[in-house]
Structure 1
Amino acid sequence: MTYQDLISSWSTFSNNIHAFSQQLGLDRLELECDHTALRVNSNQSADQLRQAFAKVGNIISDNMINGRPILIIELDTPLMMGSTAIECVELPYPGEKTYPQEGWEHIELVLDCGATDCDTLAQALLEKAPQLAPVLAGDTDVKVKMSSPKGDKERLANPTIAFKKNGLCVKIHSHGIKAVIASEAE
């Protein structure tokens, strides 16, 4: 997995993820897409991508989350998904899990509701997108995972709801990645 592979595959990934967002009805909510994330299976790939991304952006966070380094890179030139500018890339170093496919894995959208737990985030999401009730109830072919990942230095709770289907993933969280990073410095 090289940086050039990622750039070459961005158009296909962004079109597919946008279509999935539309299927869920998330596009109508006009949520900020604060970052996109990669998956790699080797430290060597992660190191090479770290070097490549450092040439086109700045590493604004290098934090241990669930026992592995996860970088957030703020890009000099945002990636575009349709008319949406995505300023940051999440580069997690591999953990114990091996991914069937390396490359772009998900986007994260911010539902600015101040939720500090997954139940509150789900309620806020349902208020804005009631069509997601059967999805959240597990009555569709979309898989839903709720979690509250936390960095070693984070002070801001940021619950997450992930929607997954056909190798695509869209995550919703209550605070933008830059606000979470800023909480680490407090």
Structure 2
Amino acid sequence: MQKLEEKGLLPEQMIDALPDFAARIEALAEKLGLTLDDYQADHIALRVNDWDCAERLHKAWLAYGEEWSNTEINGRPIVVIGLREPLQVGSWQVEALELPYPGSKQYPSEGWEHLEFVVPSTAATTDGLKVDLEETFPSLAQCWNELYALNVKIKASSPAGEKERLANPTFAFKHDGVCIKLHPCSLKDVIASEAE
């Protein structure tokens, strides 16, 4: 656990870092013209560059909850832990933590990386979700094209595990080391779809 402590990645250290992370998420939401107070913060995700750290974190976070899922996506395990006590991230209560094991990409910093929100939609594709997001958040629709100039990276994707049966297109908005992801289905519902 010493390696985690040196990197500031022990669960207790990461919980202490949540107010700063929340402030950066709120600043990004404001830049995007998103009012997310009334939306479910589905899960929080962290990133590490080292497989050994991921294994240690996986074990350490299990003291705070139970493993909901351990699915291989894009050639690496993505672990989801349902937390016994939700994490307070700004005004949101977050019940699940996502821990992707590292792939080939190296992150400039390790720790909290994104917060995902459920924005109800029947969209099954990223094109459909974009239409729904623009209707739900008119301010986002107005500034969409300006985001590139503001150094906000936008990524549309439809990540899926091998057994998932629920379409969950996602838009990710990344800036200043943090990311907001928006999708129509909760992670809990996606995991449940794997069991059907």
Aligned partner of 1:32 in structure 2 is 40
Correspondence for 1:176 among 180, 186, 194: 186
Aligned partner of 2:17 in structure 1 is 9
Residues 54 and 116 (structure 1), Cα distance of their counterparts in 2 relative to 1, 3 Å cut: same
Correspondence for 1:96 among 96, 104, 110: 104
| Alpha carbons 2:37, 2:92 under 8 Å: kept | no
| Secondary structure, aligned partner of 1:137 | helix
Q: Which runs of 5+ in 1 are unaligned?
A: none
AA in 2 matched with 1:152: E
Q: Per-residue CA shift, 1:8-59, capped at 9, x if unaligned?
A: 2112111211222233232256221110100011111111111111111011
RMSD of aligned C-alpha atoms?
A: 1.5
Q: Distance in 2 between matches of 1:12 and 1:136?
A: 26
Correspondence for 1:112 among 102, 114, 120: 120
Aligned partner of 1:164 in structure 2 is 174
Identity level (%): 46
Q: Per-residue CA shift, 1:123-149, capped at 9, x if unaligned?
A: 000001122125433554122111111
Structure 2 residue 75 is the aligned partner of structure 1 residue 67: yes
| Alpha carbons 1:68, 1:95 under 8 Å: kept | yes
Aligned partner of 2:57 in structure 1 is 49
Q: Distance in 1 between matches of 2:105 and 2:36?
A: 34
AA in 2 matched with 1:8: D
Q: Distance in 1 between matches of 2:28 and 2:87?
A: 18
Give the superposition deviation at 1:111: 1.0
| Alpha carbons 2:124, 2:167 under 8 Å: kept | yes
Aligned partner of 2:131 in structure 1 is 123
Aligned length: 186
Correspondence for 1:150 among 157, 160, 174: 160
| Secondary structure, aligned partner of 2:17 | helix
Q: Distance in 2 between matches of 1:135 and 1:108?
A: 20
Q: Which runs of 5+ in 2 are unaligned?
A: 1-8
Give the superposition deviation at 1:174: 1.1
Q: Distance in 1 between matches of 2:55 and 2:36?
A: 37
AA in 2 matched with 1:10: L
Q: TM-score, normalised by structure 1?
A: 0.94
> Quick check: 26-35 or 39-48, which moved more?
26-35
